[in-house]
Amino acid sequence: MPEPFKNAFNRQLIFAMAKHFKKQWPEFNSKGFSYSASENLDKLELKERSEQIMNAMAEYLPGDFIKAGNILLASLSPASEGDIFGLTVDDKGIAGWAIMPITHYVGLHGHKHFDLSMTILKECTKRFSSEFGIRFFLLEASEKTLAEMKKWAKDENRHVRRLASEGARPRLPWAMQLPQFINDPAPVIELLEILKNDDDEYVRRSVANNLNDIAKDHPELVAEIAKKWMYGASKARKKLVRHACRTLIKQGNRKVLRLFGYELPEMKQVSFIIQTPEVVFGEVLQFTLSMFSNANRDQPLMIDYIIHHRKANGKTSPKVFKWRTTILATNKSLTFKKEHRIKKISTRVYYQGLHTVEIIVNGVSIGAADFCLLMP
């Protein structure tokens, strides 16, 4: 079983941080910091552990942020241009997960010293990420911070360029949302325009994830951006746009589907049959889809299925599942079989009763059938 992420914040890491703080500031109370940062650590989850370490930093580092900030900068390990996965605190300095409470500390305490704070966050992201810490500044001093991030979008270090996108994601997982960009993403899109042709896929993937965030609140805007970015696009940018549109594709957005060649399907015969009209929880739902072309051209098809799960109140909740992409040739037929296991998962509670499976082709519903789920 994989080691829980939270265990990255352990006593060994805390003692190592203390060692580097004391090296840069001999007056640092290593024992007090270590005790405060590691108290009841085993009972805390990841973000709680990070916050406790951050609070200990605020207690034991100098109250003068300029002095504290320079201690932090001097405590960092050498910067990385390459892969930062697996970096941690070692004899050379602080890196990896230990950066997380540092950027949180800067986000909470560094607002009166903007330039120093930006320098620290820029350096930290070369050793882990500052995507959480920068959000404090985007919330409090949006224009000033965005101006700095536009410079970062052109930085020679790929981790800094990625931060210009990742830090501005309106709905970044695990992080504070940025309501002003949820309402008006225009400032974020300006950053993404700079980064959309970045040489590094690591950066471009962040751009795609950012656009996907924006699509959840502004689907038509992202559909228009996708259309514009696909014009004369390189292979790399086409891949970016497709990844950015994954939510819109799943939702069956017609503009986006058409952009990728998925027109309204033309079929004269469609057969959708559920082979297992009753499914015991833990067993497999089986169904078959057959279709015959009614077009004078080959048709690219994106086939999904939706299971409308029964809820406790008798209503249903839809969940889209990707099935396959294929080509339906002129005057030809296709038949596909699918098995879907109904099993326990952490994100859903199942209820006995009638459920519906709906087939979606190129964003259009072409058939539906029911099955009864039996709970043991």
Average pLDDT over residues 115-136: 97
Q: Is 190 found in the same domain as 114?
A: yes
Q: Is 288 found in the same domain as 226?
A: no
Q: What is the pLDDT of residue 123?
A: 97
Q: Is 167 found in the same domain as 104?
A: yes
Check residues 104 and 80 and name the one with the higher pLDDT. Answer: 104
Average pLDDT of the chain, as a whole number = 95
pLDDT at 80 over 90: no
Counting every residue, how long is the chain? Answer: 376
What's the CATH number where 326 sits? 2.60.40.10
Cα separation, 55 vs 264, whole angstroms: 57
Q: Are strands 278-280 and 364-374 parallel, antiparallel or unpaired?
A: parallel
CB neighbour list of residue 195: distance below 8 Å, 6 or more residues apart: 153, 161, 164, 165, 203, 204, 206, 207
Work out the angle between the directed axes of helices 65-75 and 114-124 (0-180°, nearest 10): 20
Q: Is 276 found in the same domain as 195?
A: no
Q: Is 367 found in the same domain as 223?
A: no
* Domain range for 340: 267-374
- pLDDT category of residue 1 using cuts at 50, 70 and 90: low
Domain count, the chain: 2
What's the CATH number where 66 sits? 1.25.40.290
Q: Is 229 found in the same domain as 86?
A: yes
Q: What is the pLDDT of residue 268?
A: 84
Q: Interior CA angle at 33 toward 70 and 93, to 5°? A: 45
Burial zone of 248 (CB within 10 Å; 0-12 exposed, 13-18 middle, 19+ buried)? buried
Q: Is 229 found in the same domain as 326?
A: no
User: pLDDT per residue over 292-319, tens digit each?
Assistant: 998 999 999 999 999 999 999 999 999 9
Contact 65, 116 (CB under 8 A): yes
Q: Which of 225, 259, 293 is the last residue of a domain?
A: 259
pLDDT at 266 over 80: yes
Residue (of 37, 1, 41, 3) closest to 21 by Cα position: 37
User: pLDDT per residue over 186-245, tens digit each?
Assistant: 999 999 999 999 999 999 999 999 999 999 999 999 999 999 999 999 999 999 999 999
Q: Is 284 found in the same domain as 179?
A: no
Q: Which of 259, 290, 306 is the last residue of a domain?
A: 259
Q: Is 271 found in the same domain as 253?
A: no
- pLDDT category of residue 2 using cuts at 50, 70 and 90: low
Cα separation, 89 vs 371, whole angstroms: 54
Q: What is the pTM of this model?
A: 0.88
DSSP string, 233-249: --HHHHHHHHHHTHHHH
Q: Is 342 found in the same domain as 208?
A: no
Cα separation, 47 vs 337, whole angstroms: 44
Q: What is the pLDDT of residue 30?
A: 97
Q: Which of 222, 242, 259 is the last residue of a domain?
A: 259
Q: What percent of the chain has pLDDT over 70?
A: 99
Q: Is 82 found in the same domain as 13?
A: yes
Q: Is 121 found in the same domain as 156?
A: yes
